[in-house]
Amino acid sequence: MRDILKMEILSRPENEGFARASVAAFVARLNPTLEEINDIKTAVSEAVTNSVVHGYENGEGTIFMEIVIEDKVVHIKIADEGMGIDDVERAREPLFTTKPEEERSGMGFTFMEIFMDRLEVESAKGKGTSVHMVKKIGGGK
């Protein structure tokens, strides 16, 4: 089975909850466990929040989401056309944050990595960031 959900949302904090709830509803057809659904909701929330807070620095911009279901595998792409990340490797380190004054915990990428099977981050300074995450439902992780 193959299916696709594409969404564009504005980078508003109110849309963070909408984004994770939409992805959870789309993935529900694979009969995920409660834990798998929570994993996906958390990972989506982290990626969308990154675009809102860092990509567009709390200003207005568009967040592009593409969710592909292929048999039991979920591919999630979340992209923005914001400021981009200087050093992706460093950004992925646990507890690293460029915004300590806003009390960002620096755990966003770490949670995406822990809760999903695979995480790829592509970013170009001034052009934006794209996060690609993969998770197998029923994979026991």
Q: Catalytic positions, please?
A: 46, 50, 104
104 binding other proteins? (CB under 8 A): yes
41 binding other proteins? (CB under 8 A): yes
Q: Which of 11, 49, 123, 130 touches other proteins (CB under 8 A)?
A: 49
Per DSSP, the residues of 17-59 read HHHHHHHHHHHGGG---HHHHHHHHHHHHHHHHHIIIIISTTS
Q: Please count the other Cβ atoms lying within 10 Å of the Cβ belonging to residue 29.
A: 11
User: Is the Cβ of residue 22 or residue 42 nearer to other proteins in the bound state?
Assistant: 42
How, if at all, do strands 2-10 and 73-80 pair?
Answer: unpaired
User: Is the Cβ of residue 8 or residue 14 nearer to other proteins in the bound state?
Assistant: 14
The gap from C-alpha 98 to its chain's centroid, in whole angstroms, comes to 18
Near other proteins by CB under 8 A, which window of 69-77, 81-89, 105-113, 124-132? 105-113
User: Is the Cβ of residue 84 or residue 106 nearer to other proteins in the bound state?
Assistant: 106
